Structures are given as structure tokens and as C-alpha cells.
Amino acid sequence: MYKKYFKRPLDFLLSLFGLLITSPILILAIIAIAISFRENPFFTQKRPGKHEKIFSVLKLKTMNSKKDKDGKLLPDKYRLTPFGIFIRKTSIDELPQLINVLKGDMSLIGPRPLLIRYLPYYRENEKPRFLIRPGITGLAQISGRNYMTWEERFEKDIEYMHNMSFKQDLFIIWKTIQKIFNPGEIEVDPNSNPAMLAMDLQRKEWPEFKHVQKLQ
């Protein structure tokens, strides 16, 4: 009943309230990024959502667009600025996703929306994560987000989907808030975790995904 009748209205009301109370922080961050980066402060990227429907996820930029002599973007570690690290650690960069929740593309709680290029590399038992809206935070994100493998994260996504409840969502929101106020637990550079190598790079050599390479 919660999933069918109450989750979406609560998402709408809570995301609207969240935008209202965080708007001063968001506006200051937008101005600071625009001044320091001298470019559009927003970062958008296409991601698959519910039923793999593609939408544009919205975040604040944490990296500049500096390029090398050949015109290619520098590696992430050279483009991530001190201010970018700060807004990642405080999760301020995620605040614009409240707009995605208002629009209905996302939920406050759910599996994180990942890259489109990962779509061919999900196992059958992992695909049910696309039966619900992706979330700003989720069970996987409060369960040791920095050092979990892809398989462990997807297990948590499916566990959440099967046990979705108001009580569980409140618990996840509470644990997420705790993590925000303990920045040491928040992942700033995903590349620092060997277990989190890009999923397609990890799985492309698996026998069950050999056919994907032939199709591409």
C-alpha cells in the first residue's frame, strides 16, 4: 500500500520542502561554482530510470573543464577542486536532484541511477532494480558505500525493492543524514576504490557478457 499510494506523494512533498529549506545553500553554491569555474554550475547526464526510461539527472559541478594540449579533458583528480571536494563531502552537489524527484524521474529513496553504458551488463537477478524509481540515496548507500562491490550494491537494491516500507525509508533518510554530518564516510573519488572499477570494464570479460562485445 505504501509503495502504491503514499511513496510518490511523500516524495513530492518532501522534495519540495527540501528545496525550500536548502535554497539559500543551493543558491550560494551555484554562485560560488559559477564564479570559480566560470562556466555553467550544473552538471547533467543521461541515466536510465524506472523501466530503463532515460532521463537527465541534475547535479552541481564539482570538477572544472580543464583540458590538455590535445583538447582532451584532464583526469578527474586534476579537475576536482578543493571547493568541489567540499560540496561532495557535504552532499550539496546532490541537492539539484530534488528537482528530479519533483518531476517524477527519481525518488528520495531507491537504487542509484547509473550510467547508460552499463545497461547490457546487468545479470537477470539484478534487473528488477529498474522496476522502481532511482533514488538520491538508498539502502546500498548507507551500507558501506565506499567499499562495496557492484554485486553487493545490487543485492541491497533488490533487498530494498522487496522490503520497501515507510519505516525503512525513514531509517534510510536518518542514516543518510548521519553520513552527511560525518563527511569522512562520503566517497569523494570513486576511482580510489578498486572494487568500484567501472562495471562495464569489470564485466566485459565475463563469459556471460561476451556477446555484448560482438553487438557493440
Give the domain range for residue 25.
Answer: 2-215
107-111, 120-124, 175-179, 191-195: range with lowest mean pLDDT: 191-195
The three cell numbers locating residue 177: 543524514
More confident site: 153 or 194: 153
The three cell numbers locating residue 137: 540515496
Number of domains observed in the structure of the chain: 1
For residue range 191-214, what is the model confidence (pLDDT) as tens digits? 556 556 788 888 988 988 888 865
Q: What is the Cα gyration radius of the chain? A: 18
For residue range 45-97, what is the model confidence (pLDDT) as tens digits? 999 999 999 999 999 999 888 777 877 877 877 788 888 889 988 899 999 99
42: nearest Cα among 33, 51, 52, 50: 33
Residues 6 or more apart in contact with residue 41 via CB below 8 angstroms: 29, 30, 33, 34, 60, 61
